[in-house]
Structure 1
Amino acid sequence: MALIRSRVDSANAADCPFPLNNLPYGVFSTAGEAPRCGAAIGDMIVDLAACEARGLLDAGGTFAQDALNGFMALGRARWDAVRARLTELLAEGAAPDLPLVPMAGATLHLPIRVTEYTDFYASRNHAFNVGVLFRGPENALPAQWTHMPIGYNGRASSVVVSGTPIRRPMGQLKGEAGPRWAPCERLDLELELGAVVGAPSALGSRVSVEEAEAMIFGYVLLNDWSARDVQAWEYQPLGPFQSKALGTTIGAWIVTQAALEPFRSPGAPRANPLLPYLQESRPGLYDLEIGWSMNGQVMARTNYNVMYYSSAQQLAHHTSSGCPMRVGDLLGSGTISGPTPDQTGALLEMTGGGKTPVTVNDAARTFIQDGDTVALFATAKGEGYTIGFGPCTGTILPARP
């Protein structure tokens, strides 16, 4: 697909993250006005609430709300109709005047009310690298890993929007004679893509991979901050708890499936056939360059298509027990890592568990220090255009002892 030219000139630049081909959704506010829904186009935001008030769009009044949950609950047919109408209104030469707000003067908010949050572990490179650190190469991957998506239920209450500072947590750290109470000393990031669930499922029901894909509204960048030393002491036998509850940062813009459709890509090669309920009829991943930086220095680049399981497979597996899903559920992909250190999505891997420091702006780092800013990025390249996700950043504040 080629660039769809827009009446907003800035959207037509080949390196603009928000061309008319993209149209990601978010929530924004301006001085003296309440948060409402918008769509990014070039360096502007389309005020979707104002468009609806003028009769230019029909979203059942949901765009005046301070989260996209109401719009998502209208279903895929309405998602498609609104996207098609927005494309008409924003096309080059379109007639109606539109309420456009400069992005530079707007405040971006959490785009959804996160009802539940689940994090997965779906990169084989990441799972193997971390497994080697904990269990050695012979036992790096659990026996079930190549048969089903592994995940855990996280905290929706600590999901925050890009730009929100993250406080270094206090925790129990393993000592020689038992635990000690101290600030986390091995604070890490996790480079992920989050899938936003836009349709519910019922208690006791299961959904297929195809049905699961139809339930996904779109994707956000996601950084699942991790206290590795807290995690090492607490994670057996039940898994991560306080080590992951300190905060999860997501980007302010939700990129829709429709925008990513031209970039579908197969994932990592299979070690064995999956059970029928997890098999896909078409590729479920995307050719999406993704990476992260610290204090402005790019640390790693990889591709989302290195993943072993897609979000649709993760969602289908999530419902396999009859677990109900809700509009606004968030599924983290798990850390996205390629096969080499400069393609890893966490410092735990990049530094070999803290044994091999990396250089950040001429300073040695093994884990994240107070004042450090971590930023994620992701782009897909089309014919004369770029699909971007916008920033996903967080700066670490000192612990409160």
Structure 2
Amino acid sequence: MRDKRREIQRSLTTAVALALAGCASQIDPPKVIRYDAGYVFAGETKQVTHVFKVSNNLSRQLTILKETHSCSCTNVEIDKKIIPPKSEASVVVRVNVPYNYGTTSVACSVETDHPSQPKQSFEMRFTTYTRLRVVPDKLDMGNLDYNEREDGSSGANESSRVASRTSRQCLAEVYSRDSEEEMKPTLISRSTILSVDVGECFDSERFPSGVIRRRYPVTVEFSKHGNSEALRSRSETMTLRIADALPAVITVQWRTAPPYRVLPSSIYFGLIDRGAQDPIFVDIEVASTQNRPFRVTSVTTGSTFVRAVSDLSASSEARETHRLRFQVNPATVEKSVTGSVAVETDNMHSPIIHIPWSLFLRRDG
């Protein structure tokens, strides 16, 4: 009798396990419904909206338990959480249109108490065009130097010096519908140091969506009559616009090379023995990086025991390179100390060169 009961229990356990396995295998993968909203123009269309449906084909009511979506730019509204038999609920998906060129894709997932298909997924995508964009929107003019004006004016008038005629090019892309006329970008911001030229359309392409892209060359260079002082900003923005569309901005950057090179870059008197009597000398070289002669008008050490001895190449003369000698008397030094030398020149744009100096006393014993 006991053996028979054990056999019945084993059979029931096996039957329950098989039934549970069968139920698990009946859950279908999530159903995915996709919708392509086509294209929109950024700045003209604020939101893209589509209504998806959740259908209840059961003989009982269906309950929507949870909804999730992939992006904070998306808002989802469900008109009812309990769906009667043979009825449906509306899932309204609204997506904010970003102001950029590209494709946006968002996903929404709805979880229900359906026995075999508890999850449904919805995907919506669309392409965004900006009416006007610049590619690339950042131009690097590189390292710049000051040159004489192209009319050959002398270097006595420093304000007549301008940047070398470096130029860079980018593309202004205009997007429009097939029914719209061509719109050439125009410059709406002016610069005292940069000149911008927008050429004629050289390329036109029609996309499968029906949108037409026209390309215009944009050339940026430093103005022939630019103000050299403004070059110190090292950055400027230029703005292009078409009709009433949002503008496109070009950011122009550059680096101004230092007018001088100092070798060595600092004055190091070394490690000094306390009470030493012999003076210590250090020579440095200050040279123009622009091949332009200059004068050294004064040298200030900012210390009573560090002094400039002489200019070994006659600093009163205009030269491309000057050698300066500095001296320290260890007998007057009581502690380790650092400071800075100020070398003043006749260059009105960079009149003073600061050169750090240092000396250290050796510990006694």
TM-score, structure 1 normalization:
0.20
**Which one has more relative contact order, counting CA pairs under 8 Å at least 6 apart?**
1
TM-score, structure 2 normalization:
0.22
Q: Which has the higher helix share?
A: 1
Higher Rg: 2
